[in-house]
Structures are given as structure tokens and as C-alpha cells.
Amino acid sequence: MNWHPHITVATIVEDNGRFLMVEESKGGRAVLNQPAGHLDPNETLIEAAVRETLEETGWDVEPTSVTGIYLYTAPSNGVTYQRVCFAAKALKHHPEYQLDDGILGAKWLTRDELLAQREHWRSELIIRCIDDYLAGHCHSLALIRPSL
């Protein structure tokens, strides 16, 4: 059996109780997710989180901590994802930035607003990451070690 987990990053950006979310088209419907995506070759996890956030939201961010590392198998396709979730602060918005294909736009939503839209979540990892962030799970970026 060939099993190849996918390494992904996600970023939690919070401002006054609202979280930066991405609305994207997936499987013909609009879904919500944190800014997230796959690690590219020759890229660090932190670089990937910064890049994905910019590409999907038009926001420059500065990662401040690691919220958690998650293993998730998507029920829709059986693919296993290892997600490294970062917390970051928003630095600058670029409203003219051309967002990635399939991205409908960025939204700032509260946790309650997200809960009201559960049927639009890309995965259950959305609320788990936010709840871990709100619970104070805040690990040093030094946890992420560069390659040799």
C-alpha cells in the first residue's frame, strides 16, 4: 500500500474577536477555511504559512506562534493531511492582490458566525484550530526547526 500524507499549513489571524477566513470554491460549492495550503518544495513551514495567507487573502502576516500540529483524514477522499497551524498578526492588506484561483474572497468572522455556517466548513479542523488558539495553545516558533 502506498500511503502519502500531505503536509499543509494553516494560519489563524485574529483581530478583536474576528478571524481571517477564506471563502473558496471546492467541489462546486463555497466553503470556509483558514488561509491554508500545501508546503512547496524548498520552502519552510513558516514561509508556506506566510505565502498561503497572502495568496488566499491579500494580507501580509507575521507568524507569532504554533497553535498545533494536526493529523486529519478527509472523509470525502481518504487523504491524510498533517496540518501545522500557526497564529499570526495581520500586518498589511493588499486589496489589489490577485487571489489564487478558486478563492472567492476573504472574510473576517467571529467564532459564533463560523458556528452558524458549519455546513460551509471545509473541514472540522477549522473550529478545532480556533478553539485551541482561544484556549491559549501558543508554542514557540522555535518548535519549527529548519532543514540542515
Concatenate the DSSP letters of all residues of 48-81 into one string. HHHHHHHHHHSEEEEEEEEEEEEEEE-TTT--EE
Name which CATH class applies to 6-141. Answer: alpha beta
Other CB atoms within 10 Å distance of the CB of residue 84: 22
Euclidean distance between CA atoms 39 and 82, whole angstroms: 11
Position 1 scores a pLDDT of: 63
> Running along the chain, 148 residues long, what does each successive block of 10 average in pLDDT?
85 98 93 96 95 98 98 87 96 96 96 97 94 97 83
Position 49 scores a pLDDT of: 98
| SS3 of residue 99 by DSSP | coil
> Can you give the residue ranges of every domain in the chain?
6-141
pTM of the model: 0.93
Position 59 scores a pLDDT of: 98
